[in-house]
Amino acid sequence: MTADPAAGYPADLLELAETYLQQLDFRADPRAATLAEAMRYSLLAGGKRIRPVLTLATARSRGADPRAVLPAACALELIHTYSLIHDDLPAIDDDTLRRGRPTCHVAYGEDVAILAGDGLFAEAFRLLLTCQQGEPEPVLAAVTEISRATGVQGMVGGQYMDIAGAAADDDDLRTLHALKTGRLIEAAVVCGALLTGADDVASYRAYAAELGLLFQIVDDILDETGAAAELGKSVGKDRAQDKVTYVSRFGMERAAQLADQAEARARHLLRSLPGSAPDLLAVTAYIHRRRR
Amino acid sequence: MTADPAAGYPADLLELAETYLQQLDFRADPRAATLAEAMRYSLLAGGKRIRPVLTLATARSRGADPRAVLPAACALELIHTYSLIHDDLPAIDDDTLRRGRPTCHVAYGEDVAILAGDGLFAEAFRLLLTCQQGEPEPVLAAVTEISRATGVQGMVGGQYMDIAGAAADDDDLRTLHALKTGRLIEAAVVCGALLTGADDVASYRAYAAELGLLFQIVDDILDETGAAAELGKSVGKDRAQDKVTYVSRFGMERAAQLADQAEARARHLLRSLPGSAPDLLAVTAYIHRRRR
């Protein structure tokens, strides 16, 4: 019997994020209630809330109350959910299952799903801008970080490279994932640092970049080995769609070694950060050991 | 022969906006060059750039150099373009013609069009946050205004009400359009005021709300009377899709009266603003007289 992969995962931070997300109702006009419902349907499908937990854990590692960065932390989960909804659309990945439930467009129709994604993206900025406490400068820095992380030099650029099949060599593969998933994970850590007064965020960024790489290698491994029921999404899709992954490029054994190395580098970089970071260490371990 | 509807339209502000938009290349990774190209394809399809020109004109009416607010002004055009790309998608309005050219998904495919819209939205925030000069407070106020204007209590909420056919009575019709098109026009004027130090933006907001109403009534009239060649988009679509419009609800004659009244109210509110606003007056007149 293997150990619980979530052992040590900061349950109190997960609960903080989950509770905050649950109470977001977007205060839509009653005539747009179904749109808000579709947004909440995808947002509240559960999961380990890795991005907000990273923001909260980074804040706590710096001696700050994690609750002080909840709006920024949860804004990142809204953005992550928006990207999943659009990725799942028939014209993109055409996925019908996500977190164990029908995807947003299956449940609400393709038109509503497009707008639900758009709405979550806008509401993420509104949440951060209207609810995040702090001096104007760090709030501006955090929202700037998020806008960079989500644009063509970030998440959307990576999503494009993915659909375009632009990963021809190892550098392409690294760049694609660094943009598509890594950049938002990086922003989660960096926002936690910025909003708690970090002057130099480069060391946080370096740690988070390794974490993003680790996340993606494990994702590729799980797409090959995971069970749909456990993973909560369709499996084997990467191979079926002929996508270049860490597994298809390096084989399963080498991919597992690359994951080990990425975690080792992440742990090393974590030790160079100020303060004590047991939560970040636990999240790093979880990202490696998770089974979905 | 009727007068040129664009007579008096502030050509220098239009040129400022157009030139600024032309030089945006989004500095995408070469492997995402086609994504950036699709974004520019839709962004640079011409038009009167009403939203950025409103921001620039508002700044000038307050004695400021309009060039000082170009990033914020043009961010609004990126957002407007993103909303058009997503509205035109097969799952939403299924339009094939926009500004006289094939819509983004016809030219680049549906998957790229979805991401091009997403990319423009993110890049709008990045443009405003990384290029707009000014103290942190007014920049924060402007980006907050834009996030409110584009979320479920703004543009996306209105788009949802439109696809849901939620306009059952006059109040619904007003609300739908106030959210779908009015709110972004309002944000254009309000951002021009905020970024040039206006303390109380309520009078700017009131003027812009009338302008948004005027814009929509004229849009509905043009959908019935315009020629596709002149309008640059499909005509008669509202009626074909059984949409409730100002024309379907009130008839053509009454709709034209409502437009006259909205312009009169807008001009009246304009006179209550500080400074001199010949550009705003000209844009108001253009929005009424335009033939596309």
A272 within a domain of the structure (yes/no): yes
| pLDDT for res A1 | 42
**Is residue A131 predicted with pLDDT exceeding 70?**
yes
A196 within a domain of the structure (yes/no): yes
Residues in chain B: 292
A3 within a domain of the structure (yes/no): no
| pLDDT for res A239 | 65
pTM, two decimal places:
0.95
| pLDDT for res B1 | 42
pLDDT, averaged across chain B: 93
B212 to chain A nearest CA, in Å?
19
B28 within a domain of the structure (yes/no): yes
- Cα–Cα distance for residue pair A259/B160, rounded to 1 Å: 43
Residue B153 to residue A91, Cβ atoms within 8 A: no
Quickly list DSSP for A2-21.
PPPTTTT--HHHHHHHHHHH
Residues A48-80: pLDDT tens digits?
999 999 999 999 999 999 999 999 999 999 999
| pLDDT for res B2 | 55
- Cα–Cα distance for residue pair B2/B291, rounded to 1 Å: 11
Q: Which domain holds residue B26?
A: 11-287
**Is residue A30 predicted with pLDDT exceeding 80?**
yes
> Which one has a higher pLDDT value, A83 or A28?
A83
Residues B58-88: pLDDT tens digits?
999 999 999 999 999 999 999 999 999 999 9
Residue A31 to residue B144, Cβ atoms within 8 A: no
B192 within a domain of the structure (yes/no): yes
If you measure CA to CA, which chain B residue comes closest to A138? B136
B161 within a domain of the structure (yes/no): yes
- Best CA proximity match to A52, nearest among A24, A23, A18, A84: A18
B70 within a domain of the structure (yes/no): yes
Residues B178-205: pLDDT tens digits?
999 999 999 999 999 999 999 889 999 9
Q: Are A56 and A9 in contact (CB under 8 A)?
A: no
Task: List the CATH number of the domain containing B274.
Answer: 1.10.600.10
Domains identified in chain A, total number: 1
CB pairs < 8 Å spanning A and B: 189
The angle that helices A278-289 and A246-271 make with each other, rounded to 10 degrees, is 170
B2 within a domain of the structure (yes/no): no
Q: Are B212 and B76 in contact (CB under 8 A)?
A: no
**Is residue B45 predicted with pLDDT exceeding 80?**
yes
Residues A211-251: pLDDT tens digits?
999 999 999 999 888 765 566 666 666 666 677 789 988 99
Q: Is A99 exposed, middle or buried (0-12, 13-18, 19+ CB in 10 A)?
A: middle
CA B54 to chain centre: 9
Residue B92 to residue A109, Cβ atoms within 8 A: no
Could you report the predicted ipTM of this complex, rounded to two decimals?
Answer: 0.95
| pLDDT for res B200 | 81
* A238-252, B148-162, B228-242, B247-261, range with the lowest pLDDT: B228-242
- Residue B129 has its nearest CB partner, among A114, A121, A147, at A147
Contact map slice: B 225-284 vs A, CB within 8 A: none
3-state SS, residue B151? coil
Q: Are A177 and A124 in contact (CB under 8 A)?
A: no
B282 to chain A nearest CA, in Å?
31
Contact map slice: B 124-163 vs A, CB within 8 A: 125-126, 129-130, 136-137, 139-140, 143-144, 146-148, 150-157, 159-161, 163
